[in-house]
A and B are shown apart, each in its own frame.
Chain A
C-alpha cells in the first residue's frame, strides 16, 4: 500500500515535468518522425524511407554529417584535456583561483550575439588577426573561408565551454578525500601515481558526465557559426544544423525531420554507449 501511495506521489510530482517534456519535446518529435515518412506536410501520404534515401544521397548532407563528426572528435577531447588541466591548477591553490576562475566562467554569461561581433572583427579577411599577421610580415589567411575555419570554430567552442567544464571538474576534485593523497604520499607514491591512481579514478564519474555534456554542447556550436558565417559558410564548417536550418527556410519539412531523426538516433546511440560504459566502470569500482 505504502509503495503504491509512494509511486502515486512520485507520478504526481513528475507530472508537470513529464507534461512539459511531452508537449515541447516528445510529441513534436514523434510528429516529426511521422512527417519524415510522408511526402508532403499537408495531405501527404506515406512514402516509407524515401526521404531518408534522398537525404543520404545528398552530398551536402553527408558533408555536414562528416563535418559535425570531425568537429566533435577534435573539440571534445581538446576541451576535456584543457579544462581538466586548468581545474587541477586551480585546485592547487588560491594563487590561480582568484581572477582566473571568474575570467573562465564569464563566457557562460555573456550573450553570444555581442561576442560574435568581436570575433567577426577579429577573424575577418580585413580583421585584427590578419592585420597582426601583415605587420609580422606574413600573408593574410581567410580564417572563415578556408581550412582554418574549423580551427576558429574549435577555439570559439573552447572559449565558450571551458568555464562550465571547469566548474564541474572542480566539484569533482573537491569530492575526493584528502586522506587518500596523504596515505599515498606516506606510502611513497609520486605525483604521477597520485594523479593516475587516485584523481583520475575517483574523477571518472564526473568525467563521463562532462564528456556527455561536452558532446551535446559541441552540437550547439551552430549558433556561433551561423552568426559568424551565415547560412552558406565555407564547406569545412557547414554542419548538420546548417543543413536543417536551410531546409527549414526552404520549407522542406520532410528532409528536415528526416535529418533530425537521424541525428537524434546517432546521439542516442552515443549516449547509450557512454552510459553503459559508466555503469560498467561503477561496477568495477564497487
Chain B
C-alpha cells in the first residue's frame, strides 16, 4: 500500500505487459495441450500401430464425423487381427459403391508383443465405445460384447432385419441367427462360425454295445456311458484333462452349486467334493487321458474341408461327429462358435451405410474357398463351397499334419451329415462374456488332480473365490 504512492519507473510497465504477453502465450500453449490431450483420447491410439486399410491416411475420429471433400461416406471398421477376407470384402464393396470409403483398421504386431497389444486394443476400444466414439463397425470376437450390450453401445441387428424388407432370413443358417443372441438381441452378426463337437469312433462304440443319443445326452450320461467303454477297443474314452471334465460336469449340475440371483455358491459341499472325486476316479480308471487313442476327441471344425481332415486325422476310419454332451437344462442341439462377429456402434453417424455393408459381408457376392476358416452364415455361399468340394472330389490335407498331405476322398453322405450338424447347432460358445467361474474352477482344481491338495481344501478355495465373484 505504501509503495503504490511511489512513482512507478518506466520499466515496471514493460514487465507488466511482458507478463500479460506471457499469460496469453501460456494460455495458448495450454489450449494446445488440451486439444492434444483430447485428440489422443479420441483417436484411440497411436496411429503408427494401427494400419489403415486403403487410403493410407492416418485414421482419426474427425474423418468419421465430417465426410471428406468429395462427399464420400466414411466408415471406420476395426478389427484386432489383420484379415485378408475382410480386406477383400472392403475392396469389393468400395468398387461397387464409389461413394463409400471404408477404413479397415487392424493392429499390426508380432508374437512378442501380441499380448500387450491385445490388452491395449481392448482398453482403447472399450474406452472409445463408452465415450460414444469408436469405430462404426467392429469385429467383436475378442471384445466383451456382452458388456457393450449392457451399456447400450451396440445396434440390435434384429431390429434392422425386421425393418429391412430386402433381408431374407431363409438365405442364412437361421439357427445361427436365432441363437447367436446376447442380452436378448442379435448384437453381434456372425458372418461365419465354427462347430464344436466330439469326434467319435462309431464302430467301436457299436461294438461296445453303447447307444448314444447325442441330441440330448448330458455330461452325466457321458460319465455313466464311459464306464462301459473304458479299456475295451481303446484305452481311454475321451482325450482331455480332469480340470476341464470337472468344468463340464459342473455346467451339467450348475444349479446345485451356484445361485446367481442370490449370490450364493455351494462348492464347499459333499456333492462338489464328490464330483471332484468322481472326475479323479475317471482319470485314474483311464476314462480321461491325454495319451493313447480314445473313443472321443473334442474337436473344433472350421470348414467343410476341415470336417474331412479333422475326422480322418484321428486315425480311425469310422469317425463320426457327435454333438457335445449338454449342460443342465441346455436343451438339444449342437455347439457353434461365431467367427468374425460384426458389431454396429450405436453412436455411429452412418448406421444405414454400415448396415448395408454388413449385409454385403454376409451376402453370397464374394465366394470363399472350401478350406477357408469358418462356415459362412450365408447358405448360398456354403452351397458354393460344397459344390466346389464335390467337383474337386478330394481334400488336400496338411503336409505337417498327421495325414502328411495324403488327400482324402469327399464322401457326399458325410457332407449330408455335416449339413445336419450345421443346421442343428443351437448353443453359442463365445468369448463375449468372460467365464470367471470356469476359470476359477480350472485354476484351483489342478492342485487336487495333481495330488497337491485335498478335495476339501480346493473346494473351500473355489467357494471362497466364486462367492467374491458372485457378490461383486
| Residue of A41, A125, A232, A247 ringed by the most chain B CB atoms within 10 A | A232
Contact A12 B34, beta carbon cutoff 8 Å: no
Is the CB of B268 closer than 8 A to any CB of chain A? no
Question: In whole angstroms, what is the CA distance A208 to B263 when docked?
Answer: 42
Chain A binding surface SS class: helix
Contact B151 A145, beta carbon cutoff 8 Å: no
Is the CB of B19 closer than 8 A to any CB of chain A? yes
Contact B472 A42, beta carbon cutoff 8 Å: no
Question: In whole angstroms, what is the CA distance A249 to B152 when docked?
Answer: 16
Min C-beta distance of A207 to chain B, whole Å? 36
Residues of B contacting A238 in the complex (Cβ-Cβ under 8 angstroms): 468
Contact A234 B37, beta carbon cutoff 8 Å: no
Is the CB of A108 closer than 8 A to any CB of chain B? no
Which of B23, B34, B37, B150 is A251 in contact with, Cβ under 8 Å?
A: B150
Which of A8, A40, A126, A235 is B151 in contact with, Cβ under 8 Å?
A: A40
- Cβ proximity bits A5-49 to B, threshold 8 Å, 1 near / 0 not: 000110010011001000100000000000000001111000000
Contact A41 B151, beta carbon cutoff 8 Å: yes
Question: In whole angstroms, what is the CA distance A142 to B471 when docked?
Answer: 24
- Cβ proximity bits B122-144 to A, threshold 8 Å, 1 near / 0 not: 00001000111000000000001
Min C-beta distance of A154 to chain B, whole Å? 20
* A-side interface size class: 35 or more
Report if A43-B152 is in contact (Cβ < 8 Å); known contacts: A12-B22, A145-B461, A232-B469.
Answer: yes
Contact A232 B440, beta carbon cutoff 8 Å: yes
Is the CB of B347 closer than 8 A to any CB of chain A? yes
Report if A251-B436 is in contact (Cβ < 8 Å); known contacts: A42-B153, A125-B447, A235-B465.
Answer: no
Nearest B residue (CB) for A2: B3
Question: In whole angstroms, what is the CA distance A2 to B37 when docked?
Answer: 37
Min C-beta distance of A52 to chain B, whole Å? 15
Contact B347 A42, beta carbon cutoff 8 Å: yes
Residues of B contacting A12 in the complex (Cβ-Cβ under 8 angstroms): 19, 22-23, 26
Contact B263 A59, beta carbon cutoff 8 Å: yes
Contact B132 A42, beta carbon cutoff 8 Å: yes
Question: In whole angstroms, what is the CA distance A152 to B88 when docked?
Answer: 55
Residues of B contacting A243 in the complex (Cβ-Cβ under 8 angstroms): 472
Contact A42 B346, beta carbon cutoff 8 Å: yes
Min C-beta distance of A111 to chain B, whole Å? 16
Contact A250 B144, beta carbon cutoff 8 Å: yes
Is the CB of B380 closer than 8 A to any CB of chain A? no
Contact A60 B472, beta carbon cutoff 8 Å: yes
Contact B144 A234, beta carbon cutoff 8 Å: no
Report if A251-B144 is in contact (Cβ < 8 Å); known contacts: A42-B347, A232-B440.
Answer: yes
Residues of B contacting A222 in the complex (Cβ-Cβ under 8 angstroms): none
Interface residues of B in 444-472 (CB under 8 A from A): 447, 452-453, 457, 461, 464-465, 467-469, 471-472
Question: In whole angstroms, what is the CA distance A203 to B131 when docked?
Answer: 49
Contact B30 A19, beta carbon cutoff 8 Å: yes
Is the CB of B4 closer than 8 A to any CB of chain A? yes
Question: In whole angstroms, what is the CA distance A161 to B380 when docked?
Answer: 66
Is the CB of A76 closer than 8 A to any CB of chain B? no
Is the CB of B148 closer than 8 A to any CB of chain A? yes
Contact B3 A9, beta carbon cutoff 8 Å: no
- Cβ proximity bits B7-22 to A, threshold 8 Å, 1 near / 0 not: 0000000000001001
Is the CB of A253 closer than 8 A to any CB of chain B? yes
Report if A232-B126 is in contact (Cβ < 8 Å); known contacts: A23-B37, A42-B346, A251-B144.
Answer: no
Min C-beta distance of B69 to chain A, whole Å? 30
Residues of B contacting A16 in the complex (Cβ-Cβ under 8 angstroms): 26, 30
Question: In whole angstroms, what is the CA distance A59 to B346 when docked?
Answer: 33
Is the CB of B147 closer than 8 A to any CB of chain A? yes
Report if A125-B19 is in contact (Cβ < 8 Å); known contacts: A1-B3, A42-B346, A42-B347.
Answer: no
Residues of B contacting A247 in the complex (Cβ-Cβ under 8 angstroms): 472
Min C-beta distance of A243 to chain B, whole Å? 7
Report if A40-B465 is in contact (Cβ < 8 Å); known contacts: A251-B130, A251-B144.
Answer: no
Contact A23 B34, beta carbon cutoff 8 Å: yes
Min C-beta distance of A130 to chain B, whole Å? 11
Interface residues of B in 340-355 (CB under 8 A from A): 346-347
Report if A126-B468 is in contact (Cβ < 8 Å); known contacts: A42-B347, A250-B144.
Answer: no
Given A58-B471, A251-B147, 4 additional A-B pairs, CB 8 A: A9-B19, A60-B471, A125-B452, A235-B464
9 sample A-B contacts, Cβ–Cβ < 8 Å, listed by A number: A9-B19, A19-B33, A23-B34, A41-B131, A42-B152, A125-B447, A249-B144, A251-B148, A253-B130
7 shortest A-B CB distances, which residue pairs?
A59-B471, A251-B147, A1-B4, A60-B471, A60-B472, A232-B465, A41-B130
Residues of A within 8 A of B (CB): 1-3, 8-9, 12, 15-16, 19, 23, 40-43, 58-61, 63, 125-126, 142, 145, 232-235, 238, 243, 246-247, 249-253
